[in-house]
A and B are shown apart, each in its own frame.
Chain A
Amino acid sequence: MKRSMVFVLVALLLSVSLPVFAQGETLEIYITGLTEDTMNWFRETAFPAFQETHPDVQLDILTGGWGDFDATVAGWITTGDGPEIVYLGSEYAATFGNLLADLDPYLSDWEELDQFLPAAIDTVTWDGHLRGLPLLMSPRPIFYRTDLAANPDAIPPLTFADALAFTAENSLVEDNAMVQMGFMDIGAGLFDDQEFIGYLWSAGGELYNEDGSSAFDSEATAEALQYMYDRRRTMMVDETTAGLPPIEGVPIASGSVVSGIFPMWNMPSTSDALWDDIAIGPYPAGENGSPIVQIFIDWLAVPAYVEDPTLAVDFLKFITSTENASALVSVAGFTPVRQDAWEELRESNPVWDRLLDAAVEYGRSFSDIRASAELRPLIREQVNLFLSDQQSLEDTQQALKEEYDAILEDNGYLN
């Protein structure tokens, strides 16, 4: 009996421990929301290249979507056990802050750092310290179908007033259902929290006052909200109007969307002939503001639970190199964040050339959004109440201001 128990115990131990001898040193990278082609490029091209200089290292990709992103990353940080590199969106430096490793000791002297857009470096900096490296940028302008527009000469509208006129002219409702939308936001709905922040900026406003409190009580906020409300009413008389039927594929190619804000992955391929009929423009501006194009930076960070980030930093330097940045353009449609990779890109395709022009002329990085996980639902709730005629403009601004101040206080941004 005892002998057999010892045998079972040993077998159990061996079954658990033997597989680990087969492994080498492992570097796990969490990547969010990329296509299968891009994953394959990582596995088949990038990883072998990295292993040429790091032969003992085994690289693994963990994948996930933005939908379960927060829960997944929070789980790793809670347990202190997760991948060595995580893929983050623009606003996450503020969300995770000190939970991400300080990479200054490893990167501050790196000569290639100057090649990155300064706005991108700002995005990956928290509390004065680098927390990762920018991987790609996603300029998010407004795209216009010149062939569908009633008046192509009005493209791109650069003021709120012109944009309203454009949307009204190009929207069509029949039998209380939309047939053509003059403008579609990125969420395929009628407003989006990131978009609202964009209009707030293009109206000349800021999210924060100098003392760090919320500036939602500003004139610019009121102007942005009023513009979004008026635009909604140009497309639907009241809240009973049904939206467009579900769109398969990219909305701008559907024939029922005349303009909208979309990321490049939700646009036709840059080699598509449709681009001949697509114009690119910035967010229109308010009376005291200027047009902008929001730029989202996706970046790679090293969590603070990684005791020695040396190897992870080596990989970050490798994957953000000029060569790989150029490769990711063709594989994944990434817009490189390194300026030394732009020249080739501009020459390769006029679409990229136009996009980068818009980014350079109007670009504003979507960063320093404090307590973004809490700000997002607050904007959705309050702005939706205003846009759907359930709350006055004054009450909306007051609620946004008071509640965001409370959130900033809770999160230690405001005393």
Chain B
Amino acid sequence: MEGTSLQPHLETLLWSAATVLFIVVGSYLLGRLASWVGGRLGLSASERKKVFWGFLFAGPWILGFLIFVLGPSVASLYYSFTDYKLGETPVWSGVENYRELLLGEGAHGRRFSQAMYNSFYYAIVGVPLQVGTALLMAVLLNQQLRGIKVFRLIFYLPVILAGGPAVLLAWRYMFAANGGFVNVTLQNLAQNFFLFDWLYRFFIFAVEGFNGFYAGISRGDPIGPLSYTLPALIGALALLSVLRGEWTPSRRGRLMTIAEVVGVTVVVILIGRGLIADPMDPTLLYAGGLLALVGALISASQDRVRSARGWQIGGLVTFAIALVAILIAGSPEHQALYIPAILISAAPLALSLVGQWTRPKFVLGGALAAVLCVIIVARLVPGQLDSGQITTFARPLVLASTIEQPDNLDYLEDTYPAAAPSPLWVYGAVVIVLAGLAIANNRYPRAQRYVIYAAFAVFALLAVGTLVDGVRYFQAFENISAATGEANFHFSLFRDTTRAFPDQNRVPLWLTSELWTKPSLILITMWSSGAGMLIFLAALKGVPQVFYESAEVDGATRWQKFYKITLPMISPALFYNIVIGVIAALQTFEAIYIISTPQTQDNMASAAFFLFTRTFRQLFIGQGAAASWILAVIIVLLTMLQFRYSRWVHYEA
């Protein structure tokens, strides 16, 4: 506002001219650079000219990308390692932001954890429902009916409307617990149809029970013996699938896949924890090195070159992490501990670099792996499996409780979880058993069968025992709470909602209760799943009729035709919708912004919403940037995982 009125005009004019000039000159230089690179690559003069003009015209976009996408991305990566509040100078803080967010430390870390759980909820529960709805609508609209185009328009309309604030506000009214359209309709149906009434109340019971349990997990309530149930169940079910019948290559592949997924998950958790630990625990690096080494050996033994290379890269990553750890380690003692980890994690790469995979190499690798096992156990056992902690695994096997008879909440909330070993041990056992069976590959069938039986029995007993003990654990909370009259944080919503079957006058508190906010959001996204429907519809139109005709000749039922022909034929569309759906679910924002209230915001907030709040409301740019990078990495990893296990997708008829 300073000076004469002409000055800002001139300034604007100069800036405009400079901007245009920059774009023109930048594009020209980009073209010259591309032409020069083309020359270095041996292109002819006419080809270089084409390259020049191509890059000249693409220049404005490339410059825009560099300035408005790549530049800010690099800047945000830098800020994510700083303590930077808007208006203050960024101060380098290393991995502090990541540590706080990933470990859920303090109010913001806890809120980020909650937001991640909410995002996963939208992905795990919401995406299958949304994709299922889209598929159902597509199948319906694929019928030859009069006026089908009108139906298509009606079904697609919500896609255009769904994100609009007005429609989302209308949902707020429709979801009003008292007098809202949805509840009034449900109540009227329940009052008039006896069966519907029971289904409706069961629906309330199931949704509230599930969401109550999920709420407990998402805010970090200890789940006691139940934490062992899931890994034990994975092991038991995997072995159950090969328990009967002949050992076949597909069964071997199945076990390897499960072992790989579980193993990679464990490694990611270990490395993630190691990366943000201060100082980093060398045990995690040893474990990472061991896994990379064993993975490379297994893959090499089966001539799976790509897989072996993947494990080598894993070893290389561990190597790099150890190197960074040495550089930032505060004391020489820590530096010394990281050196063996560096050497071991480089082993898979080193072994493959020198000549072919020979027997001596396998022996050497095996010996190294054995040494690592000894080191890891030696490091872990004193801290993890002493003071009676082994009995936590042993007692559920004989269906005995691991819980003492407590008379106060402190034992359950603090003492018991602190004394229990990490469930990662069970996951590790699952990986070892499954991978061992797959590698042995029926060389000693009888021994293999005994191992399968024995391991199945162990995992099954552990699953049942810990499940029963988990119920006792919850009951103990309930009893103490009732006896003392003291409210307690632990899974209180779950215990409240499962205490009794809903009365007749109960209604879902859609947008006001923690138990219903996420299902409400999912219902809205299901309503607007027309985009996915359109893709399914296009895929359905592409399925050759001749397949159905052949199936009819063979006497196939409608369901068989759908399951055996339609689904495999539209699997690329299904895969696309799942991938896109998961990415969109993790980035959910607008709907939360509009339909949440201050009281329900935490229960609905996604990771994207958290980073918006942290960055633009609380102005902590550094931590907001860290949250955005964590979200980006998770999205990339999940997408890679989906592509890695997309063998069910058939791209050709």
Contacts and interface: CB of A to CB of B under 8 A. Distances in A.
Q: Which range contains the number of A residues in contact with the other chain?
A: 35 or more
Interface string B615-632: 111110000000000000
A246 B173 contact: yes
B179 A374 contact: no
Contacts of A187: 597-599
Nearest to B513: A239
Contact of B9 (A21, A307, A395): A21
Given A17-B13, A20-B9, A373-B619, A403 B106 contact: yes
Nearest to B488: A392
A25 interface: yes
Interface of A: 9, 12-13, 16-17, 20-21, 23-25, 27, 56, 67, 70-71, 74-75, 77-78, 84, 95-99, 175-178, 187, 189, 191-193, 238-240, 242-246, 306-308, 310-312, 371, 373-374, 376-378, 380-381, 384-386, 388-392, 395, 403, 406-407, 411
A381 to B, nearest CB: 5
Contact of A406 (B8, B106, B601, B619): B106
A175 to B, nearest CB: 4
Contacts of B20: 9, 12-13, 16
Contacts of B183: 242
18 contacts: A13-B16, A17-B13, A20-B8, A56-B5, A74-B616, A84-B1, A96-B87, A242-B183, A242-B509, A246-B173, A306-B1, A311-B1, A377-B111, A388-B514, A390-B487, A391-B487, A391-B489, A392-B488
Interface stretch (B357-365, B417-425, B500-508): B500-508
B579 to A, nearest CB: 30
A311 B2 CA distance: 9
Contact of B1 (A27, A70, A385, A386): A27
Contacts of B486: 392
Nearest to A16: B16
User: Which of A176, A244, A245, A390 has the most chain B CB atoms inside 10 A of its CB?
Assistant: A390
A308 B1 CA distance: 7
Nearest to B510: A242
Nearest to B4: A25
B616 A242 contact: no
Contact of A312 (B1, B487, B503, B512): B1
Contacts of A95: 619
Interface in B491-545: 492-493, 496, 502-503, 505-507, 509, 512-514
Contacts of A403: 106-107
Interface string B99-129: 0000000111001000000000000000000
Nearest to A387: B599
Contacts of A386: 487
B115 to A, nearest CB: 11
Contacts of A20: 8-9, 12-13
Given A24-B5, A242-B178, A377 B601 contact: yes
Contacts of A384: 599
Nearest to A23: B9
User: Which of B1, B2, B108, B602 has the most chain A CB atoms inside 10 A of its CB?
Assistant: B1
A380 B489 contact: no
Contacts of A378: 107
A99 B1 contact: no
Given A176-B505, A177-B177, A380-B599, A373 B617 contact: yes
User: Which of A381, A391, A403 has the most chain B CB atoms inside 10 A of its CB?
Assistant: A381
Given A308-B2, A380-B598, A389-B487, A78 B86 contact: yes
